């Protein structure tokens, strides 16, 4: 089945012998003859798929991501500066308890100076209240700001993906891309949220605590600092290993989500072939791979937690020994020792935070790495030569020796040449996989020709501004796609600003009103995902109404009536005939009886135009078109015959 955006590898094509071009009368032929050279071409686009990176590559990626992250958070400079100021106040207030403990023990407890107790308690309570208030404000403001940035980034990525070439969609699963849009940007919350600020505040508090600790006991401080520094280098090495693990986990998650989306979307096929167990096994395999990835990263995090616990215990034991020794030598009093231990927590806290917050930041950077990789994909229509705006299009389309390949070195079109005059109807027929839909993709500007020229009103289509061009296109595909909304919303999709009179007229011409008005909610009826609540014929009628409402100058019909019964097709055909009036129309048809009135018919086989002309001319020439036409007529006639009946057919029975 042809589809405008479906890549067809050469291996799937029929092995057909090239046929000579039919020699019709000049009056029957309306094209440009010519055979062009076959050149490899195509557009390759896709995302890197799960390649493991070594630490050097990870550092290089990190260097590229940091400037992008700064661009992302730079609009929040004022908020971040204010939050940093509040964080300083918050951390300073945190020193009230350990500093007050020295005076409480030495002055109140040992010297029994109870007059200082109210002052100490008042200072601690005041500092605690200020710390609690600033913590609330920081969490509230930064959490909201983080979610806003996430929402903005998601909208930016979705908008960018919508402007990527069709080749990108051909090479990437929709579910995997959706997972990247929704999940990978979540890491921004850890960069802007309280987690990062806690870590930054912990570093600041550690610096202040270090200064006080050196004043209390240089020996004990230097011993603790040496151990913590060694552990910091260990954590740095571990994070260099875990970052690629988090990236790999994101890729596996996107892959599993993509497959699950496909399975849910094709639930009727799954149930029709009783493949529930098979799909469950496929998903289970992906889920196990995701589990294995989680286990590896959790194991790494567990080793970091183990290391931090051992380090804290080691530091504590050494300080107990040194503290007892210093007190017995009268180099340190008990209050200062207690203060030292409480302040030491401020210096150790960043190490503990490196295990939790550091892991979150590493995961965030890995997700943002993949997000910016997506944003760096080149959008279509951004080429410098696309400077021509044509309004309105007359519809004169010329192909001159056009070749094209989806995969370089494997051309699917060879020297295609024809002329579709403005207002004419050009039909493309041929075997499945012959290149009909590829030609239509080139007309729509979904792909670029490898060689040759495609002219619209005498202008190279590769130089026409795509938005201007596609505003004047109308497309009706064989596989109708409807969005999960109302019938009215789906019709208005092509022209949201249309008046009620205009869209209702389009529905009338396409015979949508015949079934919509019988539904309880009329045109407000929700059609379900991909229009699942409607029949195939009803979906096709909505698709045709959508094209009618668009009022295009170029119309592409890919088996537009394939899902309709004979009565509906007859009724809608009159609507299509009025739609095609004064518009250049391209029709892909397997039901050859529907294209007999086309101004020219192109017979495509193996990526070449093997015949061209009107129905009568091609029928009389007794070539490939005649073969296809008679074979189809014989098949239709024999549908209800018993086996062995109607094995032969007389040419005089055929309607020419």
Task: Label residue 653 by pLDDT band (50, 70, 90).
Answer: very low
The pLDDT of residue 400 is above 80: yes
pLDDT at 630 over 80: yes
pLDDT at residue number 540: 81
- What's the confidence (pLDDT) of residue 334? 86
Choose between 331 and 64: higher pLDDT.
331
Q: Is the pLDDT of residue 32 over 60?
A: no
Answer whether residue 13 shows pLDDT above 90.
no
Residue 385 has pLDDT above 60, yes or no: yes
The 10s digit of each residue's pLDDT in 253-296 is: 777 877 777 677 666 667 666 677 877 888 888 888 888 888 88
Domains contained in the chain, CATH given = 1-45+390-472+556-566+581-617 (3.40.50.300), 61-375 (1.20.1560.10), 474-551 (3.40.50.300)
For 584, the enclosing helix (H) or strand (E) is strand 584-588
Question: DSSP letter string over 453-515?
Answer: EEEETTEEGGGB-HHHHHTTEEEE-SS----SSBHHHHHGGG-TT--HHHHHHHHHHTT-HHH
The predicted model gives 622-640 an average pLDDT of 72
Query: What pLDDT band is residue 634 in, cutting at 50, 70 and 90?
Result: low
Tell me the longest C-alpha to C-alpha distance in the chain.
125
Range in 193-197, 234-238, 382-386, 434-438 with the lowest mean pLDDT: 193-197
Q: How far is CA 271 from CA 264, 268, 277, 279, in A?
A: 11, 5, 10, 10
b or e along 464-494 (b: 16 or more beta carbons within 10 Å of the residue's beta carbon)? bebeebbbbbbbbbbbbebeebbbbbbbbbb
- pLDDT-based confidence at residue 598 (cuts at 50, 70, 90): confident
Instruction: Using the predicted structure, report yes or no on whether residue 567 has a pLDDT greater than 90.
Output: no
Spatial neighbors of 131 by CB under 8 A, at least 6 apart, are 90, 93, 94
Q: Which residue has the higher pLDDT, 447 or 559?
A: 447
Q: Are 511 and 571 in contact (CB under 8 A)?
A: yes
- Using the predicted structure, report yes or no on whether residue 594 has a pLDDT greater than 50: yes
Among 68-82, 113-127, 508-522, 523-537, where is mean pLDDT lowest? Answer: 68-82
Q: What is the pLDDT of residues 138-155, one digit of tens each?
A: 878 877 787 888 888 888
Q: What is the mean pLDDT of residues 590-603?
A: 81
Q: In this predicted structure, what is the pLDDT of residue 357?
A: 65
pLDDT of residue 31: 37
pLDDT at 126: 93
The 10 Å Cβ neighbour count of residue 392 is: 9
Query: Torsion over CA of 480, 482, 486 and 491, rounded to 10 degrees?
Result: -60
Lowest mean pLDDT among 51-60, 153-162, 315-324, 406-415: 51-60
User: Could you tell me the two tokens for 313?
Assistant: 């215990």
Q: What average pLDDT score do residues 464-468 get?
A: 84
Q: What 8-state DSSP symbol labels residue 186?
A: G
pLDDT at 572: 65
User: Pick the residue with more confidence: 41 or 69?
Assistant: 69
What is the number of other CB atoms lying within 10 angstroms of the CB of residue 11?
7
How many Å from the N-terminal Cα to the C-terminal Cα in the chain? 26
**Pair 470, 380: CB distance under 8 Å:** no
Q: pLDDT-derived band of residue 645, with 50, 70 and 90 as boundaries?
A: very low
Lowest mean pLDDT among 140-144, 237-241, 615-619: 237-241
Cβ proximity of 396 and 178 under 8 Å: no
pLDDT score recorded for residue 47: 41
Q: Give 333-357 pLDDT, tens digit per residue.
A: 888 888 888 888 787 777 666 666 6
With contact defined as beta carbons under 8 Å apart, do 399 and 32 qualify?
A: yes
Asked if 32 and 400 count as a contact pair (C-beta separation under 8 A), the reply is: yes
Percentage, residues of the chain above pLDDT 70? 77
pLDDT the model gives residue 466 = 83
Q: Are 75 and 141 in contact (CB under 8 A)?
A: no
Among the ranges given (376-380, 475-479, 481-485, 554-558), the one the predictor scored with the smallest mean pLDDT: 475-479
Provide the pLDDT for residue 564: 62
Question: pLDDT tier at 10 (50, 70, 90 boundaries)?
Answer: very low
* More confident call, 262 vs 162: 162
Say what percent of the chain tops pLDDT 90. Answer: 9
For residue 55, is pLDDT > 60?
no
Instruction: Give yes or no for residue 416 having a pLDDT over 90.
Output: yes
Structural element, H or E, at residue 397: strand 397-404
Average pLDDT, the chain: 76
Cα–Cα distance, 336 to 214 (Å, whole number): 12
- Between 439 and 562, name the one with better pLDDT: 439
């Amino acid at each position: 089945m042809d589809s405008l955006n479906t890549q067809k590898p050469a291996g799937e094509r029929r092995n057909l012998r090239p046929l000579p071009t039919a020699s019709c009368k000049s009056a029957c032929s309306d094209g440009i003859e010519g055979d062009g050279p076959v050149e490899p071409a195509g557009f390759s686009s896709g995302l890197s798929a799960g390649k493991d990176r070594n630490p050097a590559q990870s550092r290089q990626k990190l260097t590229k991501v940091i400037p992008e992250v700064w661009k992302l958070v730079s609009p929040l400079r004022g908020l971040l500066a204010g939050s940093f100021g509040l964080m300083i106040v918050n951390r300073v207030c945190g020193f009230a308890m350990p500093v007050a403990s020295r005076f409480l023990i030495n002055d109140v407890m040992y010297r029994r100076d109870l007059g200082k107790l109210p002052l100490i308690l008042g200072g601690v309570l005041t500092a605690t209240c200020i710390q609690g208030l600033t913590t609330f404000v920081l969490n509230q403001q930064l959490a909201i700001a983080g979610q806003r940035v996430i929402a903005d980034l998601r909208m930016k990525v979705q908008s960018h993906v919508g402007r990527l070439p069709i080749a990108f969609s051909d090479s990437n699963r929709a579910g995997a891309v959706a997972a990247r849009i929704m999940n990978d940007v979540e890491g921004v919350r850890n960069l802007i949220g309280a987690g990062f600020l806690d870590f930054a505040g912990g570093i600041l508090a550690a610096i202040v605590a270090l200064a006080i600790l050196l004043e209390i006991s240089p020996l004990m401080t230097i011993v603790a600092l040496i151990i913590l520094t060694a552990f910091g280098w260990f954590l740095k090495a571990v994070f260099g290993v875990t970052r690629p693990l988090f990236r790999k986990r994101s890729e596996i998650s996107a892959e599993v989500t993509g497959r699950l989306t496909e399975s849910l979307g094709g639930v009727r096929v799954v149930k029709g072939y009783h493949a529930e167990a098979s799909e469950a096994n496929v998903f289970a395999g992906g889920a196990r791979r995701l589990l294995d990835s989680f286990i590896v990263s959790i194991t790494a995090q567990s080793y970091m937690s183990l290391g931090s616990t051992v380090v804290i215990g080691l530091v504590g034991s050494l300080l107990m020994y040194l503290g007892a020794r210093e007190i017995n030598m009268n180099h340190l009093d008990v209050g200062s020792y207690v203060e030292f231990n409480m302040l030491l927590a401020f210096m150790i806290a960043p190490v503990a935070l490196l295990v939790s917050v550091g892991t979150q930041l590493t995961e965030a950077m890995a997700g943002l790495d993949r997000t910016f990789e997506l944003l760096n994909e080149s959008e279509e229509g951004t080429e410098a030569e696309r400077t021509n705006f044509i309004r309105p299009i007359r519809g004169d389309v010329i192909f001159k020796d056009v070749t094209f390949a989806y995969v370089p070195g494997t051309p699917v079109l060879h020297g295609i040449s024809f002329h579709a005059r403005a207002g004419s109807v050009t039909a493309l027929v041929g075997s499945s996989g012959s290149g009909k839909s590829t030609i239509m993709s080139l007309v729509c500007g979904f792909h670029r020709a490898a060689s040759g020229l495609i002219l619209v009103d005498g202008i190279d289509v590769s130089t026409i501004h795509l938005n201007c061009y596609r505003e004047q296109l109308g497309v009706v595909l064989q596989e109708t796609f409807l969005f999960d909304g109302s019938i009215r919303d789906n019709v208005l999709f092509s022209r949201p600003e249309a008046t009620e009179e205009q869209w209702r007229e389009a529905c009338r011409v396409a015979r949508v009103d015949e079934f919509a008005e019988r539904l309880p909610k009329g045109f407000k009826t929700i059609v379900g995902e991909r229009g699942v609540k409607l029949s195939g014929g009803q979906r096709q009628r909505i698709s045709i109404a959508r094209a009618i409402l668009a009022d295009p100058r170029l119309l592409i019909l890919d088996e537009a009536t394939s899902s309709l019964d004979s009565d509906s097709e007859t009724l809608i055909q009159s609507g299509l005939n009025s739609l095609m009036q004064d518009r250049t129309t391209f029709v892909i048809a397997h039901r050859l009886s529907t294209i007999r009135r086309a101004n020219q018919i192109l017979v495509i086989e193996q990526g070449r135009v093997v015949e061209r002309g009107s129905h009568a001319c091609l029928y009389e020439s007794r070539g490939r078109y005649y073969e296809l036409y008679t074979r189809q007529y014989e098949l239709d006639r024999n549908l209800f015959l018993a086996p062995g009946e109607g094995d032969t057919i007389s040419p005089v029975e055929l309607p020419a």
